[in-house]
């Protein structure tokens, strides 16, 4: 498989080349990028676009478009919107739970997306 990718176009048991995995990822990111552009009503900087696309890739387009982060973005509250990718107004982690339990790996993703969104080009993803 391709780094955990589970899209409907995966053939069980098939060994994929790195190039095939890259193509599958590009296709999925393109689909998610198109999806979020339908619900964002403000211009985006490249780092914001990249961060929100990754967020949508992880939580789904519907989840992203319905999120507090996107609501704040569309109000042009950019820094608050970026922060809302990882934190609630009360400073507790959001989008970092599976089965009702906090998952550090998911929070690491949200932090990566938040930092990218804020323009911190020195971000590193730690899973």
Which phi-psi region, left, alpha or beta, contains residue 91 (left: φ > 0; alpha: ψ -120 to 50)?
A: left
Task: Check whether 125 has a pLDDT greater than 60.
Answer: no
Mean pLDDT of the chain: 91
The three-point CA angle 70-33-119 to 5° equals 60
Going from N- to C-terminal start, the domains of the chain cover 18-117
Task: Give domain 18-117's CATH architecture.
Answer: Orthogonal Bundle (1.10)
Q: What percent of the chain has pLDDT over 70?
A: 91
According to DSSP, the residues that pair with 101 across neighbouring strands are: 98
Two tokens, residue 67: 């999120």
pTM (two decimals): 0.86
The count of other CB atoms within 10 Å of the CB of residue 116 is: 22
Phi, psi of 80 (to 5 degrees): -65, -40
**For residue 81, which of 51, 107, 59, 109 has the smallest C-alpha distance?**
51
Residue 79 DSSP SS3: helix
Query: Residues 99-119: what's their mean pLDDT?
Result: 95
Q: How far is the C-alpha of 72 from the C-alpha of 12, rounded, in Å? A: 40
């Amino acid at each position: 498989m391709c780094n955990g990718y589970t899209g409907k176009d995966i053939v069980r048991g098939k060994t994929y080349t790195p190039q095939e995995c890259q193509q599958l990822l590009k296709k999925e990111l393109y689909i998610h990028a198109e999806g979020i552009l339908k619900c964002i009503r403000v211009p985006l900087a490249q780092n914001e676009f990249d961060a929100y696309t990754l967020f949508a890739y992880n939580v789904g387009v519907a989840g992203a478009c319905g999120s507090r982060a996107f609501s704040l973005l569309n109000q042009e509250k950019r820094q608050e919107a970026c922060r809302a990718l990882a934190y609630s107004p009360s400073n507790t982690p959001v989008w970092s739970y599976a089965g009702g339990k906090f998952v550090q790996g998911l929070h690491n993703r949200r932090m990566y997306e938040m930092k990218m969104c804020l323009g911190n080009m020195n971000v590193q993803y730690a899973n």
